[in-house]
Structure 1
Amino acid sequence: MTPSALICSMPAVGHVGPLLVVARELRRRGWDVRLLTGARYRSMVEAAGIRFVPLPPEADTLDDIGTGDDTRERGLATINRGVERAFLDPAGPAAATLEHLLAEEPADVVFHDMLFLGVQTLFARQRCDRPLTVMCGITAAGYSSRDTPPYGLGITPLRQPVLNRLRNRLLSATSKIVLRPVHRSMDLFLAGVGAPGLDGAFFMDVLSRSDLLAQFTVPEFEYARSDAPENLRFYGPMATVATQPTPAPAWFDDLDPALPLVHVTQGTVANTDFSEVVEPTLAALADLPVQVAVTTGGRPLEALPPLPANSFAASYLPYDELLARTSVLVTNGGYGGLHHAMRHGVPIVIAGDSEDKVETSARVQHAGVGVNLRTGRPTPDAIRAAVQRILADQSYAARARRVGDAIAVARGAAGLVDDVEAMLASRS
């Protein structure tokens, strides 16, 4: 009998892309696969040969939240509003759609990204009466632990264990008070779908209810937790493959190999305002003996500020070739982009303070693979100092290479599907 999977993704490219890697591996092995996500990703899903199922309009909202600088959520005080708007408001309609799809066509396994809260409706059932559930960690892990600060603060663990745990306990108590509206809204949603309530747990801990917690990184880039869930496993990043190779611009082969190459990007989502990271980076490095390669993430080159003489730009670049020549990456911190850089041993200057980027920035700092500027709008002086610091201290590149070595031997989508198939066999 052909095994079947329903993959549930929040409507954002950073969610859909990694889950499509899993979908392709399932399909390669003969699984029947459907992917539930936003309408604008239909062509992307169908081009991968996967059956597309649209979210209802009420749940197809994430791409329209935070597209401009004025609406992106920053800091602990704004998490209440941000989590409710981005993830809790669409959760009810998403849960209803999920239930309808499974009633119409049952699935053996439901894969879901970590922020697709509609999957909580499945935990209203006994385990034997629901599909196997697999949580896909497409960004930094948020499980509560005595060894880590609460998710959303962007604070790294302390190196002294006793002091670290004492501080984390105090931060956890404080965060539950500050985030009381989120916890109240989460409990109302869970009650509405018949799922168990939080019962005093941190709101991110609902993620640990899934049968397998598949984190798309390596342990070297995640906080160590002595009390981590037993069902947490690391598979490395789900590296997406471009359907067509990106051609290199004419200037690419003219770069001087004797000069360090700094690559700066704001990714393909938070790239509507280049004054955040790209513009101050160009200014910071204009008179240094380096070359700067800028990508706009698909936006027109005319949207960039004037380029200094040592800077070159393209909408996209052949990334593997680029990173093989890059000495430092300056970025606002998308999870996939960071792993792509570390795969090539490239150290990072990170400037992100919105959405999940405070947590990815903190992990760059904790892993020692780069410099965390602790803001989404760094000054040219701060960027210049960080780039010079990394170029002068090869330990950043060495640690990035160590993470890259771990990524190179990670089990990836094949390992994830191996484990899921073994769990299904055991369940049968």
Structure 2
Amino acid sequence: MKFLIASIPAAGHLNPLLSVASLLEESGHEVAVQVNEDLRPAVEAAGHRFLAEIPNAQTSAGYYLETYPERMQMSPGMEMTGHALVHFFARNIAAQSASLKMALYDFQADLILADSIYWGTLPMLVGPRDKRPAIAHLGVSVVNIGSGKNIPMRPDETPEQREAELQLRERLHSPARATGRQRCPRQPWLSGASMSHPRSHDRVTRPLPAPWHRELRIP
């Protein structure tokens, strides 16, 4: 089978998809990855075929942060997240959708595997089924973002580091339990830290730990 993988331009979202891409290729499938040009080095370093977006797509996180500097003055949480949903995720739908259609001319995929909050597939999903390949979404979920305990282990994470992270999340959630309010710790990707960090791309090429791979079965 031929898989076209698409992701928003953020290391934490692309990383699991690159690991899946490696598994698919090991199983004999053909894979191509489409993401913003900023992450081309990460895709190619992982050994996968890179497909560019349309010219001047301007879907990068850097473009978003430069275009909307007022975002950094917003309160973390619903205000900041709501701004990103409108001006980053929703704004990129048209460019991402056009990019997918362009990619399918050269790479006739059987399935588009997209990041869980990659919205560029929406125009295809509401269109005729016989005019597109199958579409599936996989990746980071809102449930895991706010969870205190069901987070997966990071690559190369030691048991001591794992325990320290769990204790930190427990402390972050403790005030919420005491007041009956729900509280989600501030995430680096929401603040722009992970998107603009000069070494953020280095994390993309790390494989996911073995337990993530065991249940994956591709016909």
Report the TM-score range of the alignment, normalised by the length of the smaller protein.
Answer: 0.5 to 0.7
Deviation at residue 413 of structure 1 after TM alignment: 3.8
Does the CA contact (< 8 Å) of 1:21 and 1:238 recur in 2? no
Corresponding residue pairs, total:
186
SS at match of 1:11: coil
SS at match of 2:4: strand
Amino acid at match of 2:116: M
Aligned to 1:350: 169
Does the CA contact (< 8 Å) of 1:39 and 1:60 recur in 2? no
Deviation at residue 141 of structure 1 after TM alignment: 3.9
From 103, 106, 118, the counterpart of 2:105 = 103
Does the CA contact (< 8 Å) of 1:93 and 1:118 recur in 2? yes
Amino acid at match of 1:47: A
1:60 aligns with 2:59: yes
Does the CA contact (< 8 Å) of 2:8 and 2:115 recur in 1? yes
TM-score by length of 1: 0.37
Q: 1:374 to 1:138 in 2, by over 3 A?
A: closer
Does the CA contact (< 8 Å) of 1:21 and 1:239 recur in 2? no
Aligned to 1:88: 90
SS at match of 1:221: coil
Amino acid at match of 2:78: L
Does the CA contact (< 8 Å) of 2:153 and 2:162 recur in 1? no
SS at match of 1:134: strand
Partners of 1:128 and 1:83 lie apart in 2 by: 29
Identity %: 22
Alignment of 1:284-303 (within 5 A): none
From 29, 43, 46, the counterpart of 2:44 = 46
Aligned to 1:76: 78
1:4-30 CA-partner distances (Å, limit 9, x unpaired): 000001111111111100010111112
Q: 1:374 to 1:106 in 2, by over 3 A?
A: closer
Partners of 2:153 and 2:17 lie apart in 1 by: 8
Amino acid at match of 1:325: E
1:117-144 CA-partner distances (Å, limit 9, x unpaired): 00112213343442121111313349xx
Q: What are structure 1's unaligned runs of at least 5 residues?
A: 143-151, 157-219, 223-236, 241-318, 331-346, 352-360, 367-371, 377-407, 422-428
Q: What are structure 2's unaligned runs of at least 5 residues?
A: 187-208
Partners of 2:109 and 2:162 lie apart in 1 by: 46
Is the radius of gyration larger for structure 1 or structure 2? 1
- The alignment yields a C-alpha RMSD, in angstroms, of 3.7
**Using CA pairs below 8 Å that are at least 6 residues apart, which structure has the higher relative contact order?**
2
Deviation at residue 81 of structure 1 after TM alignment: 2.1
Greater percentage in helix: 2
Deviation at residue 414 of structure 1 after TM alignment: 5.3
Deviation at residue 65 of structure 1 after TM alignment: 4.1
Partners of 1:71 and 1:61 lie apart in 2 by: 20
Aligned to 2:215: 415
Aligned to 2:159: 324
Q: 1:35 to 1:90 in 2, by over 3 A?
A: same
Does the CA contact (< 8 Å) of 2:34 and 2:50 recur in 1? yes
Does the CA contact (< 8 Å) of 1:5 and 1:109 recur in 2? yes
Q: 1:29 to 1:45 in 2, by over 3 A?
A: same
1:72-112 CA-partner distances (Å, limit 9, x unpaired): 66232444322111201111111011112113331011000
